[in-house]
Amino acid sequence: MTDEAKRTRDSRDRPRAAGPLAGAVAGFAALTTAELASVAVRPQAGPVVAVGGAVIDRTPAAVKEWAIRNFGTDDKLVLRIGILIALALCAAFLGMAAPRFPRAAAAGVVAFGAVGAAAALGRPAADSPLDALPSLVGGISGAAVVLLLAGRLATRAPADGAPEGAEVTAGTEVTAGTEVTAGTEVAAGTESSDSGPPEARTGWDRRGFVLATSAVAAVSAGAGALGRVLNTASGSGAVASRDRLALPAPASPAPPVPPGTALRVPGVAPFITPNASFYRVDTALVVPKVDVATWRLRLRGEGVRRPVTLSFDDLLRRDAVERDITLTCVSNEVGGPYAGNARWLGVPLRELLAECGVEPPSRGGPADQLVARSVDGMTIGTPVEDVMDGRDALLAFGMNGEPLPFAHGFPVRMVVPGLYGYVSACKWIKDIELTTFDSYDPYWAERGWARRAPIRTQSRIDTPKPFARPAAGTVMVAGVAWAQHRGIDRVEVRVDDGPWRTARLASEDSRDTWRQWSVPWQATRGSHTLTVRATDRTGRVQTDRRTRPRPDGAAGRHSVVVTVD
Ligand SMILES: Nc1nc2c(c(=O)[nH]1)N[C@H]1C(S)=C(S)[C@@H](COP(=O)(O)O)O[C@H]1N2
Ligand SMILES: [Mo]
């Protein structure tokens, strides 16, 4: 064997990537075994979801607004990918340290597991110490892999005076010739140094490392795949219960939609938003899958003279009402996409509360805040007065003729016309507590958002799109406007600093729904700014003072700049 070939087998020439690779494989093993262990608890208890949830809970509002602005509904995907990248980097670093400091590296992996466990236990929905299990299992199995691979990475000092030739003769599987000409790691890797006499061993255990790494990777992939399959299967009862669900006919159907609610201008949001394109805003990295058969809703708290716990069948036995209601998110920027209009089916919350003996504050009731809790630990606070003032506040289970989609709160959510979703529209609801604004801050109030938040009067230009290049001539400017529970009275558009022109308004379905509007524009060449403003039925004109969404919804007018060719 030449000196050069000999050197390739020396530890100093162990490929630089081996350590990081070992770390990455250990990290992979940790995450996949954690996934498998989460089957025994719940999918949400897995480390990435738990840490992601903890990050969401702690993200400063300004960062959250930035994330929503830049990533929209993909923000959760971006967060997950970010966590995985961070973990991969840490794992690679620990892997680099592993050959020299195997125990420290293993302890590092366990520490990551502990962080995951702490995050899982700290989630608001964690109601069992078992939530820590997946991360702990992951940390321990990852640490075991680190120790295993560190052993394979470690250098074995050549025995003093071992004859050079011993090694060559030891090379049983590969001829010395190929090894020398290849002079590469591949050739060395196929050679079995283990089969040589111990005193002849030198360099690192390439073959052992490759075998161990592949075996761990394969077993981990299997564990992860199995965990995925079982976690999906654990939600299959809920999926089946949704598939089987036959929605009741409403005792009070939605009033027929008058003709003319849709203006048929291409590019305008449809009057009814299909479920598949309805915006989704929530903190759930894994959508809760609740089986109707096990679902319960508890109603209790201050001034609740007769607390109740309802099953889904109990809800179905009540008279259902059907209403068209436009839902809007407080995080929506002026001109943003987080508004949608659906036909909801559910039971009136007011009647249920009244049956339980609840009085609104205006009639002397002690509770002014209704706090809804979801199965994933969200808390949403709604004024009791608004829920009981006669508006169609619903415990909804149907959306556009279907059971609620899982992402939109199956089996039951709240919908209250006129209030932003974060103070009214609790999805996956399981508990209602009557309390006061003074004594309890729900999730978003704790994070700097307003405790009470009626929806602001808003209008949006859907077409033309920003920076569109329409041809000169007649251009249809159109969009939607909303002022839920007050109703839209007028929409006006202006071009540049010109006069406000009244737009044609589509028919009003109800004052809880948005309205399309359109106005034909004789577009002239050049760059133009189109601006819209709405006036609600209380006579209030949409303000031109721009504000950010926080704390109680974005104000200001939507403008679009276009260049007419
Ligand atoms: N359980 C739960 N309910 C929730 C939320 C949430 O994060 N968790 N987000 C609220 C917010 S901020 C809004 S705007 C609406 C959005 O409902 P959607 O996703 O069905 O459009 O749900 C509300 N209900
Ligand atoms: Mo929201």
116 & 230 share domain = yes
Task: State both tokens at 207.
Answer: 């073959």
DSSP letter for 280, please.
Answer: -
CA distance 172 to 480: 78
Ligand located closest to 405 CA: 1
302 & 398 share domain = yes
In the prediction, which pLDDT does 202 show?
52
Atom 16 in ligand 1: residue holding the nearest Cα = 281
Q: Which atom of ligand 1 is nearest to the CA of 283?
A: 7
503 CB-near residues (< 8 Å, 6+ apart): 477, 478, 491, 492, 493, 517, 518, 519, 532
- The preferred substitution site among 57, 341, 422 for testing ligand 1, maximizing ligand atoms within 8 Å of CB, is 422
Distance of CA 64 from the midpoint of ligand 2 (Å) = 12
- For residue 371, being part of any structural domain is answered with yes
Q: Which atom of ligand 1 is nearest to the CA of 408?
A: 20
Ligand located closest to 550 CA: 2
417 & 292 share domain = yes
Cis before 551 (ω within 30): yes
Distance of CA 377 from the midpoint of ligand 1 (Å) = 12
Distance of CA 478 from the midpoint of ligand 1 (Å) = 28
Residue type, 90: C
In the prediction, which pLDDT does 157 show?
56
What is the CATH number for 528? 2.60.40.650
294 & 371 share domain = yes
475 & 411 share domain = no
Atom 19 in ligand 1: residue holding the nearest Cα = 280
Distances (CA, A) of 531 to 477, 491, 534: 10, 11, 11
In the prediction, which pLDDT does 341 show?
98
Distance of CA 53 from the midpoint of ligand 2 (Å) = 17
DSSP letter for 331, please.
Answer: T
- For residue 175, being part of any structural domain is answered with no
In the prediction, which pLDDT does 98 show?
93
Residues 403-431 as b/e (b if ≥16 CB within 10 A, e otherwise) read: bbbbebbbbbbbbbbbbbbbbbbbbbbbb
Q: Which atom of ligand 1 is nearest to the CA of 329?
A: 14
- The preferred substitution site among 75, 282, 443 for testing ligand 1, maximizing ligand atoms within 8 Å of CB, is 282
Residue 126 has, within 13 A of its CA and on its CB side, a CA count of 24
- Report residues whose beta carbon is within 6 angstroms of any ligand 1 atom: 278-283, 327, 329, 374, 376, 378, 408, 421-422, 425-428
Cis before 383 (ω within 30): no
148 & 66 share domain = yes
105 & 209 share domain = yes
The model's pTM is: 0.88
In the prediction, which pLDDT does 65 show?
78
Task: State both tokens at 316.
Answer: 């179905």
Q: Which of 402, 421, 446 is the endpoint of a domain?
A: 446
42 & 141 share domain = yes
Distance of CA 332 from the midpoint of ligand 2 (Å) = 8
- For residue 451, being part of any structural domain is answered with no
534 & 434 share domain = no
304 & 418 share domain = yes
CA 280 to chain centre: 9
Name residues of the chain where pLDDT drops below 50. Answer: 1, 4-10, 159-200
Atom 2 in ligand 1: residue holding the nearest Cα = 427
- For residue 318, being part of any structural domain is answered with yes
Atom 12 in ligand 1: residue holding the nearest Cα = 422
Q: What is the DSSP string of 334-398?
A: TT-S-EEEEEEEEEEHHHHHHHTT---GGGT-S--EEEEEETTS-EEEEEHHHHHSSS--EEEEE
In the chain, how many domains are there? 3
**For the chain, counts of helices (H) and of strands (E):** 15, 20
- For residue 256, being part of any structural domain is answered with no
**What residues make up the domain containing 431?**
275-446
- For residue 41, being part of any structural domain is answered with yes
CA distance 1 to 191: 13
- For residue 255, being part of any structural domain is answered with no
Distance of CA 342 from the midpoint of ligand 1 (Å) = 15
- The preferred substitution site among 44, 278, 279, 281 for testing ligand 1, maximizing ligand atoms within 8 Å of CB, is 281
Which residue bears the tokens 């989609």? 405
Describe the strand order of the beta sheet including 458-463 as a list of residue ranges: 458-463, 473-482, 515-523, 504-505
Q: Which of 234, 255, 286 is the endpoint of a domain?
A: 234
Distance of CA 539 from the midpoint of ligand 1 (Å) = 30
Q: Which atom of ligand 1 is nearest to the CA of 340?
A: 21
Minimal CA–CA distance to 534: which of 519, 551, 550, 549? 519
Distance of CA 444 from the midpoint of ligand 2 (Å) = 10
**CA geometry: angle 45, 296, 124, nearest 5 deg:** 30
Rg (CA), the chain: 31
- Residue 397 CB: number of other CB atoms within 10 A? 26
Q: Which of 446, 470, 503 is the endpoint of a domain?
A: 446
Distances (CA, A) of 213 to 21, 72, 192, 206, 562: 9, 39, 16, 10, 57
338 & 435 share domain = yes
CA distance 318 to 321: 10
Distance of CA 371 from the midpoint of ligand 2 (Å) = 16
Long-range contacts of 69-73 (CB under 8 A, 24+ apart): 69/333, 72/337, 73/279, 73/280, 73/281
Which residue bears the tokens 């507590």? 433
Q: Torsions phi, psi of 533, nearest 5?
A: -145, 145
Distances (CA, A) of 524 to 376, 471, 528, 539: 54, 8, 9, 33
* Helix, strand and coil in the chain, % to nearest 5: 40, 20, 40
- For residue 260, being part of any structural domain is answered with no
What is the CATH number for 393? 3.90.420.10
CA distance 435 to 374: 16
514 CB-near residues (< 8 Å, 6+ apart): 271, 326, 339, 341, 480, 481, 482, 484, 488
526: left (phi over 0), alpha (psi -120 to 50) or beta: left
434 & 487 share domain = no
Distances (CA, A) of 90 to 86, 120, 464: 6, 20, 47
* Strands (E) located in 436-487: 458-463, 473-482
